[in-house]
Amino acid sequence: MTSVAKTLWPLNTPGGHHQIPAIGFGTYTISDRATILKVLDVALGAGYRLIDTAAVYHNEHYIKDALKVLLPKYGLSRKDIFITSKLDPRDHGDEKTVGAAVQRALDNLGTDYLDLFLIHWPGTGRISAKSPDNVKLRNCTWKALMKIHDNGNGPLKNIGVSNYTTKHIKEILADPTNIVPAVNQVEFHPYYQQSAEFHKTCRDAKILLQAYCSMGGSAGKNSLLNDPVVNIIAQKHSTSAAQVLLRWGFQRKYAIIPKSTTPERIRLNIDVDFELDTQDMESINNIKHVEKFAWQPEDVV
């Protein structure tokens, strides 16, 4: 069995053959210098080679400082690490606006290229989700990102989207002059499995899906981590509920980006080299409870 930590999913991007680690380290809500250094030290030591951040996480500059220390420590160079960042929704717009946002990300992260840059949200900051201006602005943004990408010759090696619904994806695909997004990063877990139409649209366009919220929301009573089906399967495999949820996402052909600030959990989250059998997968796929933990992009025109 191939190690998940070493598995690469292909990216369908013009201008070269590109691959993305199947598992990466998410940094959402980790926004202080000391914690970023600590968690990335553990993550790189455990074998993570993808770091996922965003302008709105306010931690890009801390990641830059951490990598200056940690890459030499682990005998790594920039090319060994896959870095993803995302456009602040306030920066939707024309080439000048988007270009300035991309340059900020590059400067903050201390790199001359990003492996992947995503439109974080289909809506624009400071205007209503129901405004038709959202359509115009995100289309302008995509055209600007394509120009910066420059068929793989620019500082953005892959471009994609996040939180795009079927409607938003079809909008990009409807214009034959558009590059197809390499990735769509979305909420995906057993309580929110996205629609069959969504999966078909992305699969047919060869858009890789990347899951966030793999373990659901808060660790309260109704948390996915306490789901009885998930826990029975975890006991069967002598693993944790979190590992089962991550392995399920991987076997559904999603890239996964678990997040934790606890060293033991960071190490466990990449240790998912076991196989869920057909019965396990069907049991999880057929969980009836439906619950969305993050934002609702369906509301964006």
- Taking the C-alpha atoms of residue 87 and residue 105, their distance in angstroms, rounded to an integer, is 9
The residue segments making up the domain with residue 55 are 4-293
Task: Give yes or no for a contact between 183 and 207, defined as CB atoms under 8 angstroms apart.
Answer: yes
- Ramachandran class of 229: left when φ > 0, alpha when ψ lies in -120 to 50, beta otherwise: alpha
User: Which residue(s) pair with 161 in the sheet?
Assistant: 119, 184
- Is 72 a member of any domain? yes
pTM above 0.85, yes or no: yes
How many folded domains does the chain comprise? 1
| Average pLDDT of the residues in 59-77 | 98
Sign of CA dihedral 46, 51, 56, 60: positive
What local confidence, expressed as pLDDT, does residue 169 receive? 98
Q: At what angle do helices 133-149 and 95-109 cross, to 10 degrees?
A: 60
> Would you say residue 300 lies in a domain?
no
What was the pLDDT predicted at 15? 77
* Cβ-contact 116, 160 below 8 angstroms: yes
Distance CA 15, CA 3 (A): 28
Q: For residue range 119-160, what is the model confidence (pLDDT) as tens digits? A: 999 999 888 999 999 999 999 999 999 999 999 899 999 999
| Residue 214 lies inside a defined structural domain of this protein | yes
Per-residue pLDDT at 218: 59
Q: Which residues are CB-neighbours of 239 under 8 A, at least 6 positions away?
A: 247, 272, 274
Residue 167 lies in a domain: yes
- Side chain identity at residue 160, one-letter code: G
142 CB contacts (<8 Å, ≥6 apart)? Answer: 119, 172, 178
* Active site residue ranges: 57
Q: Which is nearest to 258 in space by CA: 24, 22, 3, 8?
A: 24
- Confidence label for 222 from pLDDT (cuts 50, 70 and 90): low
Asked if residue 14 is part of any domain, the answer here is yes
Please state the φ and ψ torsions of residue 33, each to the nearest 5 degrees: -60, -50
Determine, yes or no, domain membership for 66.
yes
pLDDT at 16: 67
Beta bridge partners of 255: 210
Q: 16 phi and psi, to 5 degrees?
A: 140, 165
- Output the six-digit token pair for 185: 């990063």
Q: Answer yes or no: is 143 within a domain.
A: yes
DSSP state of 3: -
Averaged pLDDT for residues 222-251: 95
- Within a domain: 36: yes
| Positive/negative CA dihedral, 141, 147, 148, 153 | positive
Query: 222: which residues sit within 8 A by CB, 6+ positions away?
Result: 291
What crossing angle do the helices spanning 278-285 and 241-251 adopt, rounded to 10°?
100
What CATH number does residue 276 fall under?
3.20.20.100
**Taking 80 as the threshold, does the pLDDT of residue 217 lie above it?**
no
Whole-angstrom distance, CA of residue 257 vs CA of residue 271:
13
pLDDT tens digits along 170-195: 999 999 999 999 999 999 999 999 99
Handedness of CA 28, 169, 5, 287 (dihedral sign): positive
Q: What is the pLDDT of residues 5-62, one digit of tens each?
A: 999 999 998 876 699 999 999 999 999 999 999 999 999 999 999 999 999 999 999 9
